[in-house]
Amino acid sequence: MSMLDGHVAMVTGAGRGFGRAIAERFSAEGAKVALLARSAGEIGEVAAVIGPAALAVPCDVTDPRSVDSAIATVSSELGAIDILVSNAGVPGPFGPLWEVDPEQWWQAQAVHIRAPMLLLNRLLPGMIERGRGHAVCVSAKAARIVAPNLSAYCTGKIAQNRIVAEAAAELDGTGVAVFAIDPGFVFTQLARDTMEDPAAQKHLTGMVERLRHRENEPGADDDLARCADRVLALVSGKYDLLSGNYYELDDDLDKALAERKAAQG
């Protein structure tokens, strides 16, 4: 029996990069997987690769009506959703606060903050009622650093980690666990969009140069598999005592779990 037999997972931003890797890993472990993104063509291609256990659902995760429609479709076609991976993200806008377009900055927060809040708001009641469920927000190391000219991204990722911590405190004793992670680094389309953005080239020259060098490095895609494995571990139930925390790929979950158990006596 595979680890996720009988489970239904919803993965946003599932058309490429980390979202696709996570969705494919879930399917390999027996889950039915709903693939969400605005790009119908991309998630359709992923669904074709995965096979009948996958359902492509075009969705704007910042729009409540679109989210509600997607959840209704998935629940009808695949069953009750008990795993959520909120992975959709945007890199910009880039530049100092007094130069960036405030509307673009706020639109980025709709993706970083409004989307996971909407998804959790809609999906957690069912998980609580069934007494089981897992949610993972794909955050970033930007959540714990000050990066000039990257305020939209850093602020959004900090907020994601706080949403996860708040949700975990509110979910205590329900059987539902939530986590935030840094997915690692691969040269995804998001990285390409950053590298090619004129404002990033102006204000984040060091980052752009690192991206250029990383694009063709050997092993540049290794973190796709590592991220998928990390998310699978977190939704397995083994680490539910760590609910509410943010983890990076090099963090030792078994050590953290042992420390938590020791602290509880």
Which of the residues are catalytic? Answer: 153
- What single-letter amino acid sits at 260? R
Q: How far apart are CA 231 and CA 136, in angstroms?
A: 7
Contact 183, 223 (CB under 8 A): yes
Strand order through the sheet with 176-181: 54-58, 32-37, 8-12, 83-86, 133-138, 176-181, 246-247
- Region for 149 from its dihedrals, namely left if φ exceeds 0, alpha if ψ lies in -120 to 50, beta otherwise: left
SS3 content of the chain, % helix, strand, coil (to 5): 55, 15, 35
